[in-house]
Homo-oligomer: A and B are copies of this chain.
């Protein structure tokens, strides 16, 4: 077991009656706020106005950065930084999905760096301080409202890269489930797939770790499996929205890490889909996740046939994890052979993603051309230093094989 530090000082207001505390919380952190948001829905819904009113009432001056795009671009970050510098902004308020919060994080740490913010994405050791950030997520998905990372795209280089720093954890977050009831069905589904993928990225590990955290991850997976489809059927079901929202936050706020080495294999493969084709992150993950599981199961079966005792042992570890996933998340009969349980679990995952959540089941349905697969595989592995060294290690050839299997 690896040593680790758990420290997440973010203060979360959860529920329907808290947003009026935005003003006092922001005023505590500074007198000049930059409110960052994406499309116009935050304005149309009146959410922007109620936040601006609460800030004004508390004596906080409001500046605005709108039109932050999905898969947020470093150009938006630069624009935000220009405002921060010109207006001496001292607190950032991010209102929107994960893209908006991620852009706001990059602006917050960029404020203490004299060079271009893309440098910080490439090398997070250059992050020395951060403006305080208040997050108001309007979608249950990325968990950016309580985590330490952000993903930014660079149109000049065609890259989409994640970076992390404990300084990027928001200071305060307001989680109001009703804000997510108007999210379109496709985004609700893609958000559920994103949450599920975050859980898988940490859960599927060959480390000898705290099994307690496996039980906790399974509990969150079951939550998303239950409430994702329910939110699709009944968009205004506040209980479903609340469960999805709180699960999204806890899937990635550090609780489940427990010092595990992590490779985030599906995210590494998905980031290239978004970088090359600007696809919706959760939809990309939905296609890749079961294909990746299938590849892992096949790997384990091959390792098991090898003469190498240590590989045989690793095969068992992989199979055991897929078996636990099947039994504890999907309720598959534990008396079946392990490989059978694993393969039923992958089938159940597919059914959930593609039938219940009605997400596209193939890369070609996301507009991805077969001719790009090799380039994307090359980029995915290159961004991880030549090997995606996760639950099963993935070479460039392996990634290409996975892309092909779900094209």
Could you tell me which A residues sit within 8 Å of B by CB distance?
1-18, 208, 210-213, 215-216, 218-220, 222-223, 226-227, 238-239, 242-243, 246-247, 250, 255, 258-259
Describe A's contact surface by its main secondary structure. Answer: mixed
- Min C-beta distance of A364 to chain B, whole Å: 35
Q: Give which listed residue, B215, B218, B242, contacts A210 with CB less than 8 A.
A: B242
Given contact pairs A219-B216, A239-B208, A4 touches B15 in the complex (Cβ within 8 A): yes
Residues of B within 8 A of A226 (CB): 211
Instruction: Offer 13 A-B interface pairs, CB within 8 angstroms, sorted by A.
Output: A5-B18, A9-B9, A14-B259, A208-B239, A210-B243, A210-B246, A212-B223, A212-B227, A216-B219, A216-B250, A218-B219, A219-B219, A255-B255
Task: Judge whether A216 and B211 touch: CB under 8 Å.
Answer: no
- Structural contact, B17 and A11, CB atoms closer than 8 A: no
A258: B residues at CB distance < 8 A: 14, 246
Taking A3-B18, A211-B243 as given, write out 10 further A-B residue pairs in contact, using a Cβ cutoff of 8 Å, ordered by the A residue number.
A1-B242, A5-B12, A7-B9, A9-B9, A14-B258, A210-B243, A211-B226, A216-B216, A218-B219, A219-B219
A238 in contact with B5 given A212-B243, A216-B216, A223-B211 (CB within 8 Å):
no
With both chains docked as a complex, state the minimum distance between the C-beta of A242 and any C-beta of chain B, in angstroms.
Answer: 6
Q: Which residues of B contact A13 (CB under 8 A)?
A: 3, 5
B246–A212 touching, CB < 8 Å = yes
A5 touches B9 (CB 8 A): no
Closest to A226 in B: B211
Q: A12-B7, A246-B210 are in contact. Are A1 and B238 (CB under 8 A)?
A: yes
Complex: how many Å from CA A1 to CA B241? 12
A1 contacts B212, C-beta separation under 8 Å: no
